Structure 1
Amino acid sequence: MTSQDKPNFSLSRSAVDADPSPVATAGAREWLGLALLALPTILLGLDLTLLHLALPALAADLQPTSMQALWIMDAYGFMIAGFLITMGTLGDRIGRRKLLMIGAAAFAVASMLAAFSTSAVMLIVARAVLGMAGAALMPSTLALITNMFADRRQRALGFGVWAAMFALGMALGPIVGGVLLEHFWWGAAFLIAVPVVGLLLLLAPVLLPEYLASRAGRLDFASVGLSLAAMLPVVYGIKQIAKDGLGFNPVGAIALGLVFAVVFVRRQRRLADPLLDMSLFANRSFSVALIVLLFGLVAVGGTMLLVTQYLQLVAGFSPLVAGLWMGPPALAMLAAGVTAPVVARRVRPGFVVAGALGLSWPGI
């Protein structure tokens, strides 16, 4: 996505005018389009937490090793992280609605592959493809909201709805997973995406306008490859150390990942249009915020995974009961996700973050 986006007038009746005259407010089509964009946004959040409850059932069926089970959980998020920016640039080039529909179709196909996987390796691959499809959905939805709502207040409301729907998806993941697993096999947790995507593909050409950027960024697949080559070996090494302790293979994998990380950073500093602007890290507030976010997400994700496994494997709860037990914290997460931006407009963001961490400490 670029800062100087212009819609393709041959494809859309809406336009972002550079004239300083008052901008037009959104009409019924734009608001219906926002409601439609809520569907893939919910799916993105849902897929991050849906598997937490399904893991014992699929482990009993596919018999993955402990390492494979972790990759089944992690492959989705890593592929989103690796391809997110590049997919945004691709949407600028080919059209944001087109990328949304391509990503949605790929998401449905990958969901069916995951649902009917016959081995742990097949499921890991399907989850990785799901992540790449998710990386196409996320920037497309945000970019379309930017273009559909020229009025600042309406655009801010649109972004607020997007954030709320993403949080709702994460909150619903354990509950929806528990209901599905109570009545169906573990693959049903993936198939829930198929009818949602079908509705999106049917209505998107009617409700969502197409937009092309006037100046699209450069597609840099080499940087994408380097970023993944830096992340994946490090994560593999950490997982192996946690399982078997220090050894040549995990230490070597971490060292290899760090080498690729150095190459990635040097490449970003050299490029005129980098995948990641390294100068951002010179801002202390930005760097500290990222570190806090990293540890916060690790704590939340790890705790949620641990608790869902404990409720089923130790406490002996059914998936439905375990999912209902996860309901209160999930709803609290949704409420916090909606209210935190409002509070941060009135209170220094640092105090909001510190307060949230303080509230979470007794629970952990």
Structure 2
Amino acid sequence: MAFNKVTLLLKWFGDIRNKCQKSRYQLNVNVGLIFLGCTFDLLNVASMISLIDDLAKTYNISYTTASWSLTSYAVTFAGFIACMGRLGDIVGNSVLFTISCSLFAILSLLCAVMPNFPAFAVFRAIQGICAAGLVPCAYALIPILAPKEKVQTYFSIVSCGFSSTIGLGLIIGGAFAATKIGYRGIFYLTFAVMSVISIVAFFFTYDVERLNKKPEKDQVQTSVKSLDFIGSLIFVAGSILIVVGLTEGGESWNRPVTYVTLIIGIILFFGFFVWNCTYAKIVRGIRCVGIDTSKYFEKVQLLIPVDVLFMKNFIPIVLAFALNNACLFSCLYIIDQYSQYAERDSPLLAGVKLVPLIICMVIGNALCAFESTKLKPRVGVALGFFLALAGSVILIQLHLVKEDVFWKIFFSSQALVGFGVAIFYPYALQIAVGGAPDQSKGIASGVAQTFGQLGIEITFSVMASVLGNINEMKGRTDAVQKFRTGFQNCSYFTVAVGALGFLVTAICIRDIHPPNDDNSDLESSIHRTKIEIDQEKSGSEGEA
């Protein structure tokens, strides 16, 4: 009896979901969910930058220890995002997006109620894994669901969330820091909003790809089993070790925990690409020593398909993602931290000083949405970096100004950087994700986001190394001058990554052509590894 009621209830939910996903509002609702999901993921991170001091006071720990509230999240996010993107391609980006939103909401509530910091840091790390499933699948869904002529517009709309959230998160975090609820406020807010997103996504988003093509259940299970677990493990381990090494480098580059971890991470990271690109030859070698490769190795779907890895513009555009994030976050870090430590502003006021950045990024995204046909993607990304470089050049004049720094330096600098980054982002997504095959959009998004996260970690590591121990410096009589000198040196890094990014996008990015809709070409792209192995096997049998 109870089983029949459960069956009827599930059927009722299924009928409602079918009606929701076939409604004329389906696309707009899903874009709204993607926008809110990505926005609150980043809002949660940005707010924690302003809440580290409050976290340290609440748990009675040092500032350095409290910063692991960001580091633990960043480590797992960067390590798992590419793997989760590939998993989304296999099980369905809409399925993984919905599940990730639900788990993110639950973990936000757990972070808010944890009685000690170690438990808090563990749940933040798990939350980073959920974010790694949320973000790449969200971006991958846009070109799958939207008409081709609207993809650029929807990318620009979603990018508005990225644009507005960075500065807004600092302001909201500063506001919560001034209240009794403290850091817990942002997690309660995130729990409430992400719970609503999860419920609506269950009806509008979950398995929405079936409207175009619904894979058989057995095929999905087989695909999951054929995921390249060895390559995924190498990639995840390498990414995590690089992020940890860069984070530890912010304190000191002379400690073994820093350089040993970083070197091993880099070796694993490049080792993954060797594994990925020479997989067919590796399988042939395994077969030559008498090991049966037909049950697993020959059925493996590589984490990054070779056709995606060597897709036109893919390598330079993922490097551009890293440089773009490095330019943006170094500018943001300098303005926010200079305001707090050199000018002695509160975290809330320091966040308010970033409002021009928010406004210019939103305007830039809006222009890309409504004027998307006016610029080619390669021109859009190069123009974005040119404006960001111009803003960075203004920032290095910091040592020449002692009064009204905001109006003389920060205002125009962040306006140009924000406008440039906003123009770059939707066009870069169009190149990296929009140009990938439908079955590989998740991994394309994941790899781009991985490099973007590495750019952020490199930035924070360099900033921390240049500035040294901020807590020790605050008590010195010449603290203000030391801070001015330190932030001046940090600005050179902003100019360097901006200039390098402009060169990469201006020289290495080429015009893209509309993707080929031929199904045979698509099947060839997805099953390339299997074909190569079969060809080599036939060749070896012929020689025998």
TM-score scaled by length of structure 1: 0.79
Which string of whole-angstrom CA distances, capped at 9 and with x for unpartnered residues, describes residues 232-262 of structure 1? 3333334444423424343322232233224
Separation in 1, partners of 2:338, 2:116: 24
Separation in 2, partners of 1:99, 1:121: 28
User: 2:259 is matched with which residue: 244, 251, 254?
Assistant: 251
- Alignment of 1:181 with 2:177, yes or no, is yes
Separation in 2, partners of 1:209, 1:283: 29
1:139–1:235 distance in 2 versus 1, CA, 3 Å: closer
Contact 2:235/2:268 (<8 A) preserved? yes
- Alignment of 1:172 with 2:168, yes or no, is yes
Give 1 or 2: higher helix fraction.
2
Separation in 2, partners of 1:66, 1:277: 42
Aligned equivalent of 1:51: 48
User: 1:132 is matched with which residue: 129, 132, 155?
Assistant: 129
1:234–1:144 distance in 2 versus 1, CA, 3 Å: closer
Alpha-carbon offset, residue 222 of structure 1: 3.1
Separation in 2, partners of 1:291, 1:219: 25
Which string of whole-angstrom CA distances, capped at 9 and with x for unpartnered residues, describes residues 131-170 of structure 1? 2111222233334434433x32234433332222232333
User: 2:245 is matched with which residue: 237, 251, 258?
Assistant: 237
Separation in 2, partners of 1:291, 1:359: 20
Separation in 1, partners of 2:144, 2:270: 36
Separation in 2, partners of 1:92, 1:290: 19
Aligned equivalent of 2:460: none
Separation in 1, partners of 2:343, 2:106: 35
1:275–1:89 distance in 2 versus 1, CA, 3 Å: closer
User: 2:332 is matched with which residue: 304, 308, 311?
Assistant: 304
Aligned equivalent of 1:106: 103
Aligned equivalent of 2:393: 361
Alpha-carbon offset, residue 185 of structure 1: 0.9
- Alignment of 1:154 with 2:186, yes or no, is no
Task: Report the residue type matching 2:394 in the other structure.
Answer: P
Where structure 1 has 5 or more consecutive residues not aligned to the other structure, the ranges are: 1-7, 16-23
1:80–1:250 distance in 2 versus 1, CA, 3 Å: closer
1:209–1:290 distance in 2 versus 1, CA, 3 Å: closer
Question: How many residue pairs align between the two structures?
Answer: 347
Separation in 2, partners of 1:262, 1:250: 18
Separation in 1, partners of 2:323, 2:278: 30
Alpha-carbon offset, residue 290 of structure 1: 3.5
- Alignment of 1:225 with 2:253, yes or no, is no
Task: Report the residue type matching 1:255 in the other structure.
Answer: I
Identify which of structures 1 and 2 has the higher relative contact order when contacts are C-alpha pairs closer than 8 Å and 6+ apart.
1
Aligned equivalent of 1:320: 348
- Please report the RMSD computed on the Cα atoms of aligned residues, expressed in angstroms: 3.5
Deviation larger for 233-242 or 121-130? 233-242
Separation in 2, partners of 1:263, 1:346: 31
Task: Report the residue type matching 1:330 in the other structure.
Answer: I
Task: Report the residue type matching 1:29 in the other structure.
Answer: Q
Where structure 2 has 5 or more consecutive residues not aligned to the other structure, the ranges are: 1-13, 280-299, 396-490, 492-544
TM-score scaled by length of structure 2: 0.55
Sequence identity of aligned pairs in percent?
Answer: 19
Q: Secondary structure, in 3 states, of the residue corresponding to 2:302?
A: coil
Which string of whole-angstrom CA distances, capped at 9 and with x for unpartnered residues, describes residues 254-300 of structure 1? 23223322432222123463223567676895444443432332243
Which string of whole-angstrom CA distances, capped at 9 and with x for unpartnered residues, describes residues 305-360 of structure 1? 45434434554433332321222223223333444574643872434422332233
